[in-house]
């Protein structure tokens, strides 16, 4: 019986398994790269949602004025409107920190103000690319680029529709080139 945990046998001229550590200080850093911002219309689209919420709050407070003491709906409306203004300001901060970066072998998406998150998808792992557009996104000329992989994927909202179409074609092309390269490297 052969022990599967045995050390690899070295033959003349062929070394055994080698797994040397890398010098991580010499690796390129994503934060040094220039991320592309999302389309400015994306902020407008997000603020429309806040405006709709504010209108619902005001209308609800106006209706409640007939059934409750005047100060209670007014106080609730003022508090909710203040929170809506705060939410709009936070949306502005969030949209300013969103961005994407396309490199030779991968696609990265950055998001987050307090907690920063960068997701990178190698083109070799992309299985499907799609573009989604709702009615308001179409009105503003926006699209959401989605890349799916075997494990998870990446969704980039708020892109200019033409740019999203170009990036979709690029990702599909690069994924095909990488797949062809991997197939040609096999013995």
154 forms bridges with which residues in the sheet? 147
Does residue 7 surpass a pLDDT of 70? no
Q: Which pLDDT value is given to residue 129? A: 95
CATH number of 99-181: 2.30.29.30
Of the pLDDT bands very low, low, confident and very high (cuts 50, 70, 90), residue 182 is: low
pLDDT tens-digit series, residues 154-180: 999 999 999 999 999 999 999 887 766
pLDDT tens-digit series, residues 41-95: 999 998 888 888 878 877 887 787 777 787 777 787 788 888 888 888 888 898 9
Does residue 23 surpass a pLDDT of 90? no
Q: What is the pTM of this model?
A: 0.73
Q: Would you say 100 and 107 are in contact if contact means Cβ atoms under 8 Å apart?
A: yes
């Amino acid at each position: 019986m052969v022990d599967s945990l045995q050390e690899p046998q070295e033959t003349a001229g062929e070394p055994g398994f080698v797994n040397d550590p890398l010098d991580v200080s010499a690796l390129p850093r994503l934060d040094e790269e220039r991320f592309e911002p999302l389309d400015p219309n994306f902020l407008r689209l997000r603020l429309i949602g806040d405006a709709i919420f504010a209108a619902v709050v005001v209308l609800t407070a106006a209706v409640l004025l007939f059934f409750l003491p005047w100060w209670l709906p007014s106080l609730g409306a003022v508090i909710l409107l203040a929170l809506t203004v705060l939410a709009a300001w936070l949306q502005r901060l969030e949209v300013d920190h969103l961005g994407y970066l396309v490199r030779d072998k991968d696609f990265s998406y950055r998001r987050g103000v307090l907690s920063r998150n960068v997701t990178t998808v190698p083109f070799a792992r992309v299985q499907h690319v799609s573009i989604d557009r709702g009615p308001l996104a179409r009105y503003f000329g926006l699209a959401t680029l989605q890349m799916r992989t075997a494990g998870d994927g990446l969704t980039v909202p708020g892109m200019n529709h033409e740019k999203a179409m170009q990036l979709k074609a690029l990702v599909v092309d690069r994924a095909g080139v990488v797949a062809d390269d991997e197939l040609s490297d096999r013995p």
